[in-house]
Chains A and B, each alone.
Chain A
Amino acid sequence: SYELTQPPSVSVSPGQTARITCSGDALAKQYAYWYQQKPGQAPVLVIYKDTETPSGIPERFSGSSSGTTVTLTISGVQAEDEADYYCQSADNSGTFWVFGGGTKLTVL
């Protein structure tokens, strides 16, 4: 079955830049989506189609793609950005979807 690989944790100090990667064979063909989830809450979409930012999401959130790896970048991290972040995409056929294992972002 298809898998997306994320680092389990990333830690940064306030004001620094956080980068969270997501790797998967089909990412060269399929779009990736990034979700932020805070404890006890439903996920919130922060990046769609690799690089697009939904309205209402702060400009410090951005996405990029290179081959089979996509990256979520949070510039000027704030304390409120501490959360779990998940990438999501589909397999090569576009039939089956998968989430990465999630990355816990800690703001020191």
Chain B
Amino acid sequence: QVQLVESGGGVVQPGRSLRLSCAASGFAFSSSGMFWVRQAPGKGLEWVAVISYDGSNQNYADSVKGRFTISRDNSKNTLYLQMNSLRAEDTAVYYCETAVTTQGKNYWGQGTLVTVSS
């Protein structure tokens, strides 16, 4: 079955860096666009970044542009989010998500919590 497993979350001080990973299995990862989406405690969903199936195109929300980098390794079926210059407002559960297919297939990981605090 399809699995998306995020890892790499934790507590980090403001200004420091963290790299999240999302290990994918059970579907054609190398053919799927991928998203990172976050949710601050008690708040709504926020789109963070998107990457094309082959990694050639990436786009970012204004709130993270210049600080976060989305990437992928199709040989390892893994999606990444490099987060630099972290701020308190980056505290959230971070989810990886597949792009919705033409048949309406869509998958999410269970999320990983990032807490930015001194």
User: What is the count of residue pairs linking A and B with beta-carbon distances less than 8 angstroms?
Assistant: 52
Stretch at the interface among A21-29, A48-56, A71-79: A48-56
A32 to chain B, nearest CB (A): 11
Are B108's CB and A43's CB within 8 A?
A: yes
Are B111's CB and A54's CB within 8 A?
A: no
B47 CB–A CB distance under 8 Å: yes
A1 to chain B, nearest CB (A): 6
B86 to chain A, nearest CB (A): 21
- Measured in the bound complex, the distance between the Cα atoms of B111 and A55 in whole Å is 24
Interface of chain B, helix or strand or loop or mixed? loop
Contacts A/B (CB < 8 Å), 13 sampled: A33-B100, A35-B45, A42-B110, A43-B108, A48-B100, A54-B105, A96-B59, A96-B61, A97-B47, A98-B47, A99-B45, A99-B46, A102-B45
Interface range on chain B: under 10, 10 to 19, 20 to 34, or 35 or more?
A: 20 to 34
Give the interface centre of B44, B62, B103, B105 by most chain A CB atoms within 10 Å: B44
Q: Residue on A with the closest CB to B95?
A: A42
- Measured in the bound complex, the distance between the Cα atoms of B44 and A37 in whole Å is 10
Complex partner residue of A55 from B46, B59, B100, B104, CB under 8 angstroms: B104
Given contacts A43-B108, A48-B106, contact A95 B59 (CB under 8 A): yes
Given contacts A1-B62, A97-B47, A99-B44, contact A45 B100 (CB under 8 A): yes
Interface range on chain A: under 10, 10 to 19, 20 to 34, or 35 or more?
A: 20 to 34
Instruction: Chain A residues near B37: list those with CB within 8 A.
Output: 99
Interfacial residues of chain B within 68-118, with CB under 8 A of chain A in the complex: 95, 100, 103-106, 108-111
Identify 6 new A-B residue pairs, CB closer than 8 A, beyond the known A96-B47, A97-B47: A42-B108, A45-B106, A49-B104, A53-B104, A55-B103, A84-B44
Q: Residue on A with the closest CB to B104?
A: A54
- Measured in the bound complex, the distance between the Cα atoms of B111 and A97 in whole Å is 19
